[in-house]
A and B are shown apart, each in its own frame.
Chain A
Amino acid sequence: MTETFVPPTAFAVPGRIAVNNRAAATWQTATLTEIRRETPHAATFRFAVPQWTGHLPGQHLMLRLTAEDGYVAQRHYSIASPPGDAGHIELTLDHVEGGEVSGWFHTVARPGDSVEVRGPLSGFFAWPGDRPALLIGAGSGVVPLMSMLRHHRARALDVPLRLLVSARSPEELIYAREYGAETMLVFTRGAPHGVPVGRMAAVHVAPLLAEQPRGGWEAYVCGSNGFAEHASRLLVEAGQPVDRIRIERFG
């Protein structure tokens, strides 16, 4: 029995990416070089990580903070920057109320501070730029999707890429200035004059699935668990195969 066991059921196995085990196991120092405000509740933190071995758009890392008494807090964060940004990575953090790690970032952190990171992690929610990508995100769930969009632009890839983004309101829209014709925005609480307010629904998803690119879409869904459940159900109902939906849930 040397063959790899393949379960008799379907799963999103195409395009698993080999993860660099050494990088995943090694903590590295990341030095904060810049903080950019995105929205009243979210900011982007740019780090110099000289030994970073690179990542694929969509991957995340583990970050840890250490208190003087040795207490450690570690959390996962998606990487916002594209792979081309050598020696640097960017994270975008929501300020979670009462949040231990995001609270430190939003109220204490300043350029020159250092934290520890390990990664990149997971070869599953990753898009090397090789197949048509249908990206759906809400809130800070747009972070790994932006890495994909930036990669697509930086490399001038011609493989189709479409983005559906849900935000509470224009003020809460992360990366507002960066979206282009590939993106459809959905506002759930407040919208610019003349734009409807409401949840992402079949009307947003169906047209994208009607215009199937060659080889079909690889769908990437990212956000809170509630959003991930809702968006993945919309995709399935619109005919997207379950084994071509990759989900990242922020908890």
Chain B
Amino acid sequence: MNVTRGFTGRPRAHNTGLPPGQYDAGDDWPVLAAEVTPDLAPADWTFGIDGLVAEPRTWDWEQAHALPASAYEGDIHCVTSWSKFGVRFGGVSLDAFLDTVRPDATATHAVAYSHTGYTTNLPLADLTGGRAWIVWEYDGKPLPAEHGGPARLIVPHLYFWKSAKWIAGLRILDHDEPGFWEQNGYHARGNPWEEQRYSGD
């Protein structure tokens, strides 16, 4: 351990919900995006799944809202070190979308991409089984544009760069393919509990 002279840190409550290296952002919700916040109306938003699936499909705003509602209530963790406890997102479980398109038996991964062209890769296993959502509500209100509104992906058990804002679609693949930040030195999977921040972690 490399102790920093005179550094004590802020007085802190013992917080077991905090993954290693993270701090509690409290009421703050920092915005981290490398691109211009798009001006995307719900009427112009679509979400599609293609690639290795039986039936590729694209949903518009109303069709997506017709799927069974599902909420996530819990914590989120950003690779830039903040975590946020007890957040509430409303939308639809990704399972509902995937059940419709039926991924092939050979499918192992997905690339999620946004309406801005941002990409991020995920093992399919991280997107199924009630672990990922397409959401349009935050705390009971429409998701703000700077946080990915009108709709974003959330995969709360991974670092938040995996939760692509302004989600446009998933391409289902039989191999892993690094997305935008992964090509820029970030970890392929991004599990906060194992501190998978940068490639090589």
Contacts and interface: CB of A to CB of B under 8 A. Distances in A.
Q: Which of B23, B33, B36 has the most CB of A within 10 A?
A: B36
Contacts of A104: 4, 6-7
B114 interface: yes
B177 A121 contact: no
A140 to B, nearest CB: 15
B32 A249 contact: yes
Contact of B3 (A11, A67, A76, A225): A67
Interface in B65-123: 80-82, 111, 113-119
Interface residues of B, number: 55
Interface of B: 1-10, 12, 20-21, 23, 28, 30-38, 51-52, 80-82, 111, 113-119, 146, 168-169, 171, 173-175, 177, 180-181, 183-185, 197-201
Nearest to A107: B6
Nearest to A19: B185
A10 interface: yes
A197 interface: no
Interface in A137-156: none
A25 B188 CA distance: 13
Contact of B23 (A62, A73, A115, A232): A73
Contacts of A233: 36
Contacts of A109: 6
Contact of B32 (A19, A65, A236, A251): A251
A14 interface: no
Contact of A229 (B9, B37, B51): B37
Contacts of B2: 27, 29, 66, 114, 116
Dominant SS at the A interface? mixed
Given A1-B175, A74-B21, A108-B7, A24 B119 contact: no
Interface stretch (A83-91, A160-168, A208-216, A240-248): A240-248
Interface stretch (A33-41, A122-130, A178-186): A122-130
Q: How large is the interface on A (under 10, 10 to 19, 20 to 34, 35 or more residues)?
A: 35 or more
Top 6 closest pairs, chain A to chain B, by CB: A11-B117, A25-B200, A19-B185, A7-B113, A251-B30, A9-B117
A236 B63 CA distance: 31
A251 B200 contact: no
B6 A125 contact: no
A122 B185 contact: yes
Nearest to B78: A251
Contacts of A5: 111, 113, 119, 171, 173, 177
12 contacts: A7-B168, A9-B116, A11-B116, A12-B35, A24-B185, A71-B8, A74-B81, A113-B4, A118-B198, A236-B36, A242-B35, A247-B35
